[in-house]
Amino acid sequence: MSERKDRRCALSVVLALMLLPGMQERQSFAAEPSVDYVTTGDAKAAKGDLDEAIIDYSQAIEINPNDSNAYFRRGAAKRINGDWKGAIADYSVGIELDPNNVSAYYNRAIAKRIEGDYRGAKDDYTRVIELDPKNAFAYYNRGGIKWSMGDFSAQSDEDRAFELDPRLRGDLRDGTPYTAPPANGVGEALAECDRQVGLRPNSVNAYCSRGAVKLFLGDDEGARKDLNHAIQLDPKFALAYYYRAKVKRVISDIADLNHAIQLV
């Protein structure tokens, strides 16, 4: 792994761990043996040593199976390491131990969406909103999932997100991929994408989303044009390269895939 990727990975882990509860408060429990392993795990994760961090978090769990923070942190490390199913399992155990943990539901929703469990992800975002009614990102991401499911109540979620945090109009998302909606909702989804492009002609997400839907419909040329435009708007938007690679279906798609990986 290059030095740049090491730094990016370490930063991602630190940010993920910062979302978890008790990051500052854990020092008061220094007498707990499991906390020592959580502390060393955090240090290793901050350096990008995810595999070693996971080993330490596992040691903490072995010592104290009721340490919810250890499960949450191991889940975060697994998520960033690409083990989405493992992350979901750890978040789920942690939630059983601490059922009101907002960050755990939020991060599990991201993992579930990656795994294609849209209903489960939507339910987790709903739980986040119940616990934290002013969480703009939860509304925004739940809205994105609803669009993918052909559920047009998504607009009210996005409107509420914009009301809570106007910065979201700049197209901040949780980084998870768009996925084309079910076949029975594709036509309506494409019409909605057209509407979003009209409303937000400089929106990278709007063009990328429409490109993904067109790809699902088999309109390769239309998808390519939208994805090319998304990349022109933001040359660092990894997801647009990913979908354009799927459109090309030729050797050159490897270049787009590699570029997407470098940007993540």
- The domain tally of the chain equals 1
Written as one letter, the residue type at 79 is R
Q: Is residue 260 part of a domain?
A: yes
Q: Is residue 79 part of a domain?
A: no
Q: Is residue 247 part of a domain?
A: yes
Residue 258: CATH number of its domain:
1.25.40.10
pLDDT band at 149 (very low <50, low <70, confident <90, very high): confident
pLDDT band at 66 (very low <50, low <70, confident <90, very high): very high
- Which structural domain range is residue 194 located in? 177-264
| 86: Cα separation from own chain's centroid | 15
Contact yes or no for 227/193 (Cβ under 8 A):
no
Q: Is residue 188 part of a domain?
A: yes
pLDDT score of 59 more than 70:
yes
Please compute the mean of the pLDDT values over residues 209-219 and round it to a whole number.
78
Q: Is residue 101 part of a domain?
A: no
CA–CA separation, 93 and 105 (whole Å): 11
pLDDT band at 50 (very low <50, low <70, confident <90, very high): confident
Question: How much is the pLDDT for 34?
Answer: 62
Q: Is residue 95 part of a domain?
A: no
Question: How much is the pLDDT for 11?
Answer: 38
Cα separations in angstroms, 69 against 29, 202, 228 = 12, 41, 43
pLDDT band at 180 (very low <50, low <70, confident <90, very high): very low
Could you tell me the sign of the dihedral formed by the alpha carbons of 185, 187, 190, 194, in that order? negative
Q: Is residue 134 part of a domain?
A: no
Question: How much is the pLDDT for 24?
Answer: 36
Q: Is residue 103 part of a domain?
A: no
Each residue's pLDDT tens digit, 89-148? 999 999 999 999 998 999 899 888 878 888 999 999 999 999 999 998 899 889 888 877
Contact yes or no for 227/206 (Cβ under 8 A):
no
For the entire predicted model, the pTM comes to 0.58
**Please, which contacts does 37-44 make with residues 24 or more away whose CB atoms are closer than 8 Å?**
37/63, 37/70, 38/67, 38/69, 38/70, 38/73, 41/70, 41/73, 41/74, 41/77, 42/17, 42/73
Quick count: other Cβ atoms within 10 Å of Cβ 166?
Answer: 10
Q: What is the residue-averaged pLDDT of the chain?
A: 75
